Amino acid sequence: MKWYEIEGEMGGIVVSTRVRLARNLSDYPFPAKLSSKDENEILEKVSSFLTDGGDDGEAYTLTDLSTTDAVTAGALVEKHIISPRMASKRGNRGVVLSDDESVSIMINEEDHLRIQVLGSGFCLDECLEKANRVDDMLDGEFTYAWSERLGYLTRCPSNLGTGLRASVMLHLPAHTESGEISMLMSSLGRLGFTVRGIYGEGTAAIGSYYQISNQFTFGSDEQDTIDRLKKVVKSTVEHEQELRDRYRDRHKNAAEDKAWRAYGLLKYARKLSSAEATSLLGDVRRGVVAGDLEDVSIPLLNALLWQVQPNQVKVISGDYHMDSEERDIARAEMVRESF
């Protein structure tokens, strides 16, 4: 079972949680100065250690991104397993992935290692605990670049200190429709957090999905960062529900109609773009949370949120050369079958 096939805490509004640790090995230059030989050495040493068993009980497999086609790499980006930067980067690089896809270790991205843990719903403590287990396991085998004054040494100064980036993806249609999303972004910015689109920095919030993450890694420990983010997320979820309830009190029929129309389109449409499918899935999600749609599960919506993306459709269909219209037809067929 994949991590997103489980309904987590606050799963109706909180889609997923992610914790990422940036690390570099002290025996090698930073990635910008790595030779091809050094890149290959890091990739080989780290991936072999993990895939040979490690000691955390996970079974890992390596995807060598230097030999992977663009569609497969794009699909990994769409599932948040690797970053867009890593998909387009040249050189020897790869990602080691656990069977349930909750743990991924990017090798030779912006830093030598990016340890990432994903979880369904609101699970910051659990994700941090799992990320720390992987981190400790690697730290026992390799020597990290570390400074008593600066903490973990990273290529980008913004990741110095803990090297921790924690983010939570939320579905916030009521914030979006009311215009309060702008106020949320502004207020969280003052608190040291940032609000971004579905795929992070520079991406749009398609379907009213947003990621809230910490901006700073220096000057506070990991648990403090997590605890502050937990408070921000809980407050945001509470206000989102208040806005939804307020709208529903005034426009109950319109709210129900929107959810059922979205359900009908997803169940019967013959062509769907990725943007339309993502938006409709959001409308259905809101209807499920409100109790209007009882035969649709949150795990199904979680899975479809990734599966309707362009490269994912190609990978699932097995046709890597389909044009946009063929892809829209295949996407609609896949969603119909799922519903």
Q: What SS3 state is found at 188? A: helix
CA 24 to CA 114: how far, in whole Å?
9
CA 74 to CA 178: how far, in whole Å?
33
pTM score, whole prediction: 0.93
**84 and 215 assigned to the same domain:** yes
Domain boundary, last residue among 189, 206, 241: 241
Full residue range of the structural domain in which residue 320 is found: 251-338
**232 and 255 assigned to the same domain:** no
- Quick check: 147 and 203 in contact, CB under 8 A? no
- Quick check: 266 and 335 in contact, CB under 8 A? yes
CA 209 to CA 228: how far, in whole Å?
21
Strand 151-152 to 94-98 pairing: unpaired
Containing 244, the helix (H) or strand (E) segment is helix 222-250
Res 138: pLDDT: 96
Is 246 domain-assigned?
A: no
Res 220: pLDDT: 79
Name every residue whose Cβ is closer than 8 Å to that of residue 210 and which is 6 or more positions away in sequence.
169, 170, 172, 181, 195, 196, 197, 198
What's the CATH number where 166 sits? 3.30.590.10
Res 74: pLDDT: 95
**135 and 256 assigned to the same domain:** no
* Positions of the chain with pLDDT under 70: 54-57, 199-205
Is 7 domain-assigned?
A: yes
- Quick check: 17 and 121 in contact, CB under 8 A? yes
Res 160: pLDDT: 85
**179 and 230 assigned to the same domain:** yes
Is 273 domain-assigned?
A: yes
Q: Which long-range contacts (CB under 8 A, 24 or more apart) does 335-339 make?
A: 335/266, 335/267, 335/269, 335/272, 335/277, 335/304, 335/308, 336/266, 336/267, 336/268, 336/269, 338/300, 338/303, 338/304, 338/307, 339/263, 339/266, 339/267, 339/296
Domain boundary, last residue among 241, 259, 280: 241
Per-residue pLDDT tens digits for 76-97 = 999 999 999 889 888 899 999 9
Backbone torsions φ then ψ of 288, nearest 5 degrees: -65, -45
**109 and 199 assigned to the same domain:** yes
Total count of domains within the chain: 2
Is 314 domain-assigned?
A: yes
CA 203 to CA 19: how far, in whole Å?
19
Q: Percent of the chain scored above 70 by pLDDT?
A: 97
Q: Which residues pair with 17 in a beta bridge?
A: 119, 168
Res 124: pLDDT: 97
**65 and 176 assigned to the same domain:** yes
**288 and 221 assigned to the same domain:** no
CA 244 to CA 246: how far, in whole Å?
5
**167 and 262 assigned to the same domain:** no
Is 230 domain-assigned?
A: yes
Is 312 domain-assigned?
A: yes
**98 and 58 assigned to the same domain:** yes
Res 221: pLDDT: 85
Token pair recorded at residue 269: 């449409």
**191 and 132 assigned to the same domain:** yes
State which amino acid sits at residue 101: E
**92 and 192 assigned to the same domain:** yes
Other CB atoms within 10 Å distance of the CB of residue 90 = 9
**169 and 262 assigned to the same domain:** no
Domain boundary, last residue among 241, 264, 289: 241
